[in-house]
């Protein structure tokens, strides 16, 4: 075929052969060839359109593998009939107890376990039904309690003659009366006795008014995954019966004590937001996690895996701006679950303004197999995935991290950290001398000392347990520099963890802590200045007396209605214990700034003096991490003129950010204030004994001052 060239395009579907376009150098014949080619494509295009329309109809309705529900998951107030549209040739089996639909379970009787460690048998159901007509959806709170009557801890018996420590809380108690319940419908289609497609789950909740402002999480799974004597992860069970009396957390104490893949259970989770926004419905794995696993409602860790069908949860789960999760957890009040309940969440929120790694939180009403489980907090899980989603590290970052997780390295090793600690010990003569400038610079190349100072100052301010110690210490670093990511510089950084003791304890300074690196810096002004600056930044913002009183009071009042529902479900905390605890803790929070400043004045011979910040023109003045002229988490708007208190002799970094149409001109000072460079957009000021005023001058771009 002279003057012709062949171009193989592709292989089309629907059994078509390879299509060949003949590109001619003779233009007169080209039109005819193309016309014939397009004519041949008409059947292909028609079939493609039919296929697309079929797929579209399936996505909007049902297929041979999925039923069509007459109503989607959500909140409801009035009863309704739920209908299922099932493809001809299929039958639908469904459950109302959260279990997997299975034809062999039609008419199944309750499963009875012989011993609940209290010497009483208990039971649960895994019963399926053949769909033959509308399913009634109504407020099932009027029905008898089911799984909520199964004991899920046994602390007093386990501790024998000993009493559990105060922070351990209380044992399981039966609910007071009937608890709130949801309707969970799980459906699977079968054809000729063979399952077709996945289990479809929908949940409808008539939420009590006390928790109507909370989104709902509905967890569904075979009850045996949770309550089976041998393998159920919610009960003491066999793991308790075969354990020995423990001291502290030295042994196993129930099925919920175990961890690892073998003790991961498949569950389905639905997230139902308030107000009808889009939620999610996803299969995932669940394990017990943390010390709170022994508490009656347990702490639960959730894992997204490809074998469950979803590798990552793509949803802004914590309303924090992060919309990719590999792991997350549900946690109650931790060590104060039986009293003040929200200390850890409050404490970490206060830390968050300093740019530290914190576990974001979001309270939710949790239902397990349709029965109210409690008000728990969704939380981040600290691991390499947390760092990946927060900082933008690429897949595979786990091989490039040193990650210390409480008592051991979960990733990498401690070679570099041990070298860091040895450097500090030798350079400070075991904390008795100031570290030299050269050694301090080397230490600063190994660890982010601003991060360490803010972390330690925050612990002092909120009065939490004095960490890091031999238990709650989480820190990480990249093993080499990761280009383009500021935190990928190979230096150690600390993660805020376990603020359950926030404002619970009387004031105590981290400088009295015999653990960790801080003891080596006590004589080193280059570090103590960083610590003092962090104290003032907290004290001027989130722990300012009026701000912290308002923030805590609003949260205490918001949570109080939830406590009444939790009390009726678990017996604790009571509203009375919640109120009594916070009457004490709130007072400690209000006094935190004064206590910290007094301690610093005594230890470091500094005085706190007032400094006023002003501006001419428009722009923001960043005073350390405080954005004057902008808004700040917890605090709200920080308007000019703004007054803070700062320690004498401690340089304070300031940076000007002109608004659009303005430029920075200079700094001005009134009173006893020394500015290092009045023309630099970033500089420092140092207050003298009398304090004074710092003023940023912004001028209109291109205009006269």
Q: Evaluate whether residue 558 is within a structural domain.
A: no
Q: Evaluate whether residue 170 is within a structural domain.
A: yes
Q: Is 671 helix (H, G, I), strand (E, B) or coil?
A: strand
Counted domains in the chain:
4
Same domain, yes or no, for 93 and 29? Answer: no
- Residues 458, 351: Cα–Cα separation, whole Å: 6
C-alpha angle 335/338/343, rounded to 5°? 50
Same domain, yes or no, for 625 and 533? Answer: no
Same domain, yes or no, for 319 and 460? Answer: no
Same domain, yes or no, for 45 and 79? Answer: no
- Residues 568, 560: Cα–Cα separation, whole Å: 13
Same domain, yes or no, for 424 and 498? Answer: yes
Same domain, yes or no, for 91 and 139? Answer: yes
Q: Evaluate whether residue 50 is within a structural domain.
A: yes
Mind giving me the DSSP string for 233-271? TTS-HHHHHT----STTSS--SGGG--SGGG-EEEEEEE
Positive or negative CA dihedral for 231, 378, 459, 682? positive
- What residue ranges in 86-236 does DSSP mark as E strands? 91-95, 111-113, 122-124, 128-130, 135-137, 183-191, 194-205, 216-220
Q: Evaluate whether residue 588 is within a structural domain.
A: no
Same domain, yes or no, for 194 and 303? Answer: yes
Same domain, yes or no, for 90 and 161? Answer: yes
Boundaries of domain holding 625:
608-700
What confidence tens digit (pLDDT) does each residue in 432-459 have?
A: 999 999 999 999 999 999 999 999 999 8
Q: Structure pTM? A: 0.87
Last residue of a domain, one of 524, 543, 562: 543
**What number of other Cβ atoms are within 10 A of residue 672's Cβ?**
16
Q: Evaluate whether residue 591 is within a structural domain.
A: no
- Which pLDDT value is given to residue 12? 24
Identify the CA nearest to 374 among candidates 202, 256, 216, 579: 216
Same domain, yes or no, for 278 and 306? Answer: yes
Q: Is 584 helix (H, G, I), strand (E, B) or coil?
A: helix
Q: Evaluate whether residue 587 is within a structural domain.
A: no
Identify the CA nearest to 146 among candidates 127, 131, 130, 133: 127
Q: Evaluate whether residue 586 is within a structural domain.
A: no
The low-confidence residues of the chain, meaning pLDDT below 50, are 1-38, 40-62, 157-161, 167, 244-252, 467-468, 704-705
Last residue of a domain, one of 506, 526, 543: 543
CB 46 within 8 A of CB 32: no
* Type and span of the H or E element at 680: none
Find tokens 């060239």 and name the residue: 5
Same domain, yes or no, for 158 and 94? Answer: yes
What confidence tens digit (pLDDT) does each residue in 161-210 have?
A: 455 555 455 678 899 999 999 999 999 999 999 999 899 999 999 999 99
CB 365 within 8 A of CB 333: no
CB 456 within 8 A of CB 450: no
Same domain, yes or no, for 425 and 532? Answer: yes
- Which pLDDT value is given to residue 546? 96
Q: Evaluate whether residue 556 is within a structural domain.
A: no
Last residue of a domain, one of 514, 543, 572: 543
Same domain, yes or no, for 526 and 628? Answer: no
């Amino acid at each position: 075929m002279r003057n012709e060239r062949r171009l193989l395009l592709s292989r089309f579907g629907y059994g078509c052969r390879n299509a060949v376009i003949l590109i001619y150098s003779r233009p007169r014949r080209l039109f005819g060839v193309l016309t014939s080619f397009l004519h041949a494509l008409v059947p292909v295009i028609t079939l493609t359109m039919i296929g697309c329309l079929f797929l579209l109809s399936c996505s909007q309705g049902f297929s041979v593998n999925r039923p069509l529900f007459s109503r989607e998951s959500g909140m409801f107030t009035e009863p309704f009939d739920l209908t299922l549209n099932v493809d001809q040739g299929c039958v639908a089996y469904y459950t109302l107890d959260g279990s997997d639909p299975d034809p062999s379970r039609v008419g199944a009787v309750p499963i009875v376990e012989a011993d609940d460690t209290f010497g009483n048998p208990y039971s649960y159901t895994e019963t399926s039904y053949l769909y033959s007509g509308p399913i009634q959806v109504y407020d099932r709170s009027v029905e008898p309690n089911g799984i909520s009557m199964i004991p899920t801890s046994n602390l007093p018996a386990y501790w024998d003659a000993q009493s559990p420590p105060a922070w351990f809380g209380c044992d399981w108690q039966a609910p007071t009366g009937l608890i709130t319940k949801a309707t969970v419908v799980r459906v699977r289609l079968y054809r000729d006795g063979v399952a077709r497609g996945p289990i479809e789950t929908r949940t409808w909740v008539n939420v009590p008014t006390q928790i109507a402002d909370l989104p709902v999480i509905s967890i569904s799974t075979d009850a045996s995954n949770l309550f089976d004597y041998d393998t159920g992860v919610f009960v003491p069970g066999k793991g308790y019966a075969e354990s020995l009396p423990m001291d502290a957390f030295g042994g196993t104490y129930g099925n919920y004590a175990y961890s690892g893949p073998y003790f991961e259970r498949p569950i389905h989770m639905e997230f139902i937001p308030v107000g009808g926004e889009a939620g999610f419905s996803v299969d995932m794995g669940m394990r017990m996690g943390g010390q709170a696993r022994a508490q009656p409602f347990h702490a639960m860790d959730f894992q997204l895996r490809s074998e469950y069908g979803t590798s990552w949860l793509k949803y802004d789960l914590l309303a924090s701006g992060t919309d990719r999760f590999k792991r997350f957890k549900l946690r109650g009040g931790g060590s104060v679950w039986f009293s003040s309940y929200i200390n850890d969440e409050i404490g970490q929120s206060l830390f968050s303004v300093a740019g530290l790694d914190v576990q974001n939180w979001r309270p939710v009403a949790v239902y397990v197999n349709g029965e109210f489980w409690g008000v728990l907090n969704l939380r981040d899980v600290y691991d390499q995935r947390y760092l990946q989603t927060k900082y933008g590290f690429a897949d595979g970052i786990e091989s490039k991290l040193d990650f210390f997780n409480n008592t051991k390295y979960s990733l990498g090793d401690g070679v570099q950290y041990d070298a860091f600690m040895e450097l500090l010990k030798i350079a400070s003569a075991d904390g008795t001398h100031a570290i030299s400038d050269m050694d301090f610079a080397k230490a600063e190349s190994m660890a982010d000392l601003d991060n360490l100072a803010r972390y330690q100052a925050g612990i002092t301010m909120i009065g939490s347990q004095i960490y890091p110690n031999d238990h709650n210490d989480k820190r990480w670093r990249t093993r080499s520099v990761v280009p383009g990511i500021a935190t990928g510089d190979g230096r150690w950084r600390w993660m805020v963890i376990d603020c359950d003791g926030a404002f619970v304890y009387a004031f105590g300074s981290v400088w009295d802590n015999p653990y960790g690196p801080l003891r080596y810096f006590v004589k080193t002004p280059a570090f103590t200045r960083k610590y003092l600056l962090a104290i003032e930044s907290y004290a001027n913002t989130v722990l300012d007396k009026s701000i912290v009183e308002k923030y805590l009071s609003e949260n205490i009042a918001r949570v109080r209605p939830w406590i009444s529902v939790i009390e009726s479900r678990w017996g604790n905390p009571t509203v009375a214990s919640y109120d009594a605890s916070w009457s004490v803790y709130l007072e400690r929070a209000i006094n935190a700034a004064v206590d910290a400043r007094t301690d610093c004045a005594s230890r470091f011979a500094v005085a706190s003096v007032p400094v006023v910040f002003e501006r001419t023109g428009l722009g923001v003045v960043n005073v350390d991490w405080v954005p004057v002229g902008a808004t700040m988490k917890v605090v709200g708007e920080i308007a000019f003129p703004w007054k803070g208190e700062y320690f004498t002799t401690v340089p304070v970094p300031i940076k000007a950010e002109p608004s659009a149409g303005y430029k920075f001109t200079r700094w001005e000072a009134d009173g006893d204030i020394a500015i290092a460079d009045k023309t630099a957009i970033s500089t420092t000021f140092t207050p003298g004994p009398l304090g004074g005023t710092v003023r940023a001058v912004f001028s209109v771009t291109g205009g006269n001052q």
